[in-house]
Amino acid sequence: MQTHNQAAPGALELVRRFLNTWSIPNQTRVEVDNLPVLARDADKWREELSLHPRAESDTLERLSELRSDLRKSCEGLDDDHQLLNAWLARVALSVKAVAAEGGAPGLCVTSADTSYVASILALVANAISSGTWSRLKTCDDCRWAFYDHTRNGSKRWCGMTKGGVDGRACGTIAKVSAFRARAAAKKSPITDGG
Ligand SMILES: [Zn+2]
């Protein structure tokens, strides 16, 4: 079923929000980084990203590096998971078997380290374990992070209608461009001599 809901299930939504602290708004198409503003304001940080307050180790540089590497993973640019593994090796995570859906054992990853970076990585590890990480995607067009709720996991754009979040219409824009390209090709003077 087509849904315009972009939110990720459970706490994974916090990771999605973190990824979207960097965005390219439709209106301007100019990159915006909200992280410095959020990092300066503890209230805004809690409101937007909750989870944990920033620890001393959560420097802007570290946060922005994590965001960029997690984005690469979502964009399929970290195929061998080297970036992800490097991050997972940097924080102390512990793994516990828990009863998951249907009583089958699942994994629960927690972190004793209460830094924001470690908490985000624990959420990512849990998402990988539960199979939801691959559904956190970035729009082919504007790179906005969204959760793919479609049955076959085929969603490529953040929103298909102008009524979507922030009035984005990337899928529509892409389809119009493809239509125009096809129309232009048809009008092209190159014929097969007929
Ligand atoms: Zn988009």
Query: Which position has the token pair 């049955």?
Result: 151
Specify if 98 maps to a domain. Answer: yes
Query: How far does residue 24's CA lie from ligand 1's centre (Å)?
Result: 9
Specify if 28 maps to a domain. Answer: yes
For residue 1, pLDDT beyond 50: no
Specify if 91 maps to a domain. Answer: yes
Q: Given this model, what pLDDT does residue 136 score?
A: 96
Q: Given this model, what pLDDT does residue 19 score?
A: 97
**CA 163 – CA 104 distance, rounded (Å):** 40
Mean pLDDT of 48-69: 92
Q: Given this model, what pLDDT does residue 140 score?
A: 87
Query: How far does residue 106's CA lie from ligand 1's centre (Å)?
Result: 33
Share of the chain above pLDDT 90, in %: 56
Query: How far does residue 139's CA lie from ligand 1's centre (Å)?
Result: 5
Could you tell me the two tokens for 110? Answer: 């927690």
Reported pTM: 0.82
Specify if 3 maps to a domain. Answer: no
For residue 4, pLDDT beyond 80: no
DSSP string, 21-66: TEE--TTT---EE-HHHHHH-HHHHHHHH-SSPPPTT--HHHHHHH
Query: How far does residue 145's CA lie from ligand 1's centre (Å)?
Result: 8
Specify if 27 maps to a domain. Answer: yes
Mean pLDDT of 80-107: 91
Q: Give, in degrees to the nearest 5, the angle at Cα 50 between 24 and 60.
A: 55
Q: Given this model, what pLDDT does residue 167 score?
A: 53
82: confidence class by pLDDT, cuts 50, 70, 90 = very high
Which of 155, 64, 167, 164 lies closest to 117, judged by CA?
64
Query: How far does residue 152's CA lie from ligand 1's centre (Å)?
Result: 19
Query: How far does residue 161's CA lie from ligand 1's centre (Å)?
Result: 10
Query: Which position has the token pair 């805004």?
Result: 44
Range of the domain at 183: 12-187
List, as ranges, residues with CB under 5 A of the ion ligand 1.
139, 141-142, 144, 158, 170
Query: How far does residue 26's CA lie from ligand 1's centre (Å)?
Result: 8
80: confidence class by pLDDT, cuts 50, 70, 90 = very high
Query: How far does residue 77's CA lie from ligand 1's centre (Å)?
Result: 18
Q: pLDDT tens, 129-175?
A: 999 999 999 998 889 999 999 999 888 888 755 554 555 567 776 66
Specify if 194 maps to a domain. Answer: no
Q: How many domains does the chain have?
A: 1
CB 141 within 8 A of CB 170: yes
Query: How far does residue 78's CA lie from ligand 1's centre (Å)?
Result: 21
Which has the minimum average pLDDT: 41-45, 99-103, 188-192?
A: 188-192
Phi and psi torsions of 145, nearest 5°? -85, 130
50: confidence class by pLDDT, cuts 50, 70, 90 = confident
CATH assignment of the domain containing 71: 1.10.3300
Q: Given this model, what pLDDT does residue 2 score?
A: 38
Query: How far does residue 142's CA lie from ligand 1's centre (Å)?
Result: 4
Specify if 164 maps to a domain. Answer: yes
User: Three-state SS for 147?
Assistant: strand
Query: How far does residue 51's CA lie from ligand 1's centre (Å)?
Result: 26
**CA 63 – CA 30 distance, rounded (Å):** 21
| End-to-end Cα distance, the chain | 45
Specify if 158 maps to a domain. Answer: yes
Query: How far does residue 6's CA lie from ligand 1's centre (Å)?
Result: 11
